[in-house]
């Protein structure tokens, strides 16, 4: 078995199994805990439902915090969207998804894919630079850095494979797939799970405050 066969075969498949099983385990382990009810009388009878708005409204900071959050909000938006587009938009990824699910859609032109991949990487670099230069604000821990490395690795190796940089293409591609596998394995145990938690966390707080008649 070549390195590429290993990456495309058992490595990525086991990584996906760990990703799915681990995520379900972590979600259930938390969500199956009892929920403390709020017995106090709500400010207005149906007001609590307004709390769910926070799931969406918190996607953008309030104008009160514009200045403090501007850099991070803009760069984080660039990173998330650019990464998403690259993940589902370029030919190689669509072929991989098709091999797993059978679904397929038209791909972006290669040049556009590369450009967006670079945007994702540069924005990720911009985020880590800010984290490194403002240690008192970010209070970073080991998990923050491991997560950054495991997210940056697929972007870097993917761009290198695409541009035929580094070792020969097959090896580079194998490294790229292995780096993705590592990120998948890391996902359920790390802060990458925020991509799911944000819905629950925002909803909870939105409801808690809406109960008292406060829109957060």
Residues making contact with other proteins (CB under 8 A): 25-26, 28-41, 43, 54, 58, 61-62, 64-65, 68-69, 72, 76, 131, 134-141, 144, 189, 191, 193-194, 197-198, 200-202, 204-206, 208-209, 211-216
Distance CA 46, CA 159 (A): 51
Minimum distance from CB of 53 to other proteins (Å)? 11
Burial class (CB in 10 A: 0-12, 13-18, 19+), 26: middle
Minimum distance from CB of 185 to other proteins (Å)? 14
Q: Which helix (H) or strand (E) holds 105?
A: none
Minimum distance from CB of 59 to other proteins (Å)? 8
Distance CA 213, CA 216 (A): 10
Of 1 and 33, the one with the shorter C-beta distance to other proteins is 33
Distance CA 161, CA 33 (A): 44
Of 64 and 101, the one with the shorter C-beta distance to other proteins is 64
Minimum distance from CB of 135 to other proteins (Å)? 7
Of 30 and 163, the one with the shorter C-beta distance to other proteins is 30
């Amino acid at each position: 078995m070549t390195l590429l066969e290993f990456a495309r075969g058992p490595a990525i498949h086991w990584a996906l199994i760990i990703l799915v099983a681990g995520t379900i385990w972590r979600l259930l382990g938390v969500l199956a805990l009892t929920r403390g009810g709020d017995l106090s009388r709500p400010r207005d009878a149906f007001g609590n439902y307004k709390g769910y708005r926070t799931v969406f409204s918190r996607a953008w900071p309030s104008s009160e915090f514009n200045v403090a959050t501007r850099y991070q909000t803009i760069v984080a938006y660039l990173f998330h969207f650019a990464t998403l587009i690259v993940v589902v938009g370029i030919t190689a990824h669509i072929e991989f998804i098709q091999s797993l699910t059978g679904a397929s859609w038209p791909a972006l032109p290669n040049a556009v894919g590369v450009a967006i991949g670079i945007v994702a990487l540069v924005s990720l670099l911009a985020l880590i630079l800010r984290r490194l230069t403002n240690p008192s604000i970010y209070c970073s821990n080991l998990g923050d850095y491991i997560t950054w490395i495991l997210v940056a690795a697929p972007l870097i190796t993917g761009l290198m494979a695409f541009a035929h940089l580094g070792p020969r293409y097959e090896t580079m591609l194998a490294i790229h797939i292995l780096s993705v596998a590592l990120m998948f394995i890391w996902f359920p145990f790390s802060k990458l799970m925020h991509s799911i938690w944000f819905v629950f966390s925002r909803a909870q707080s939105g409801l808690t405050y809406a109960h008292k008649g406060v829109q957060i």
